Amino acid sequence: MDLYRSVVVTGGGGMLAQELDQVLRLRGVRAAMVRRAECDISDRSQVSTLFKTYSPTLLLNCAAHTAVDRCEDEPELANAINGDGPGYLAEHGKEYGSKLVHFSTDFVFPGQIDRPYRPEDTPGPLSAYGKSKLLGEERIKSVARLSWLTIRTAWLFGGHGNCFPKVIIDRASSGHVLKVVNDQLGSPTYAADLANGVLELLDRGAEGIWHVTNSGATTWFEFARSIAQEFNISAEILPISTAQWTAMRPKQAVRPAYSVLDPEPYAKLVGRRMRDWRDTLADYRTAVQKGS
């Protein structure tokens, strides 16, 4: 079967989906970019219609409820989109013989160890968002004889749509004093690099759970400072603790203190690590300036 004969990307208007569209087009593949208005994956009947319409050989699921803090107030909606939805895609994917690629998160882990999390490590999400994403992983795994690939990533940013760097640029450019958490550690991941990494895994027939992030780890504070420097923005950026941030915003979701993912299995399979996150900022700046 030609894996790329009929490609569908759900959540087609999102940041990662648009990057996937670009890398697929470079290969001469025109994917069906399906937005939520066309298919709400939490609705089983709409998923059924999607598969009847496209009979996908490959479905890349970028549809998700990604508003981490809002998920605390909307856990049922988060579970429906991030949990039930992937399950429906998996059930129909099995029926149609499709390959399902799903995206998950570092937030499925509790952040209580001192080494990068491996794909086989036991999850323990702290937030409603993390729990809903883990539910989606489990729903996919429960479907027997399905060809599937779940990619956990972290701190995703890119030139399409809202993300942490965009918030920093907007607020810093407006003269705000920024207070940014300095005791949570993770790996910023550039969406364009992740999209290329996905195809590298597919090219090699990867299955199961994989961790894919840019190399290196940092805090939100250092990430913010690096962004301001890259964009030559003079701004006052102050480090604060998670406890201080929580005191200011008590309704925020609990984030893991340490959520660095171990990409070594990916690096061994494709023959290299992804570049350091700092090296992606110039490309991000170019993408932002091109889009403005």
Q: Give the catalytic positions in this structure.
A: 129
Q: Which of 167, 170, 202 is nearest to 58 (CA)?
A: 202
Q: Residues near 65 by Cβ (< 8 Å), separated by ≥ 6?
A: 71, 74, 77, 78, 81, 82, 129, 132
Beta strands 189-190; 156-157: pairing state: parallel
Q: Identity (one letter) of the amino acid at 287?
A: A
Burial 93-123 (b: 16+ CB within 10 A, else e): bbeeebbbbbbbbbbbbbbeeeebbebeeeb
Please give the Cα distance from 233 to 186 (Å, whole number).
23
CA 203 to mean position of chain CA atoms: 20
Structure tokens at 90: 């998996």
Q: Identity (one letter) of the amino acid at 142?
A: S
The answer to whether the beta carbons of residues 57 and 9 sit under 8 Å apart is no
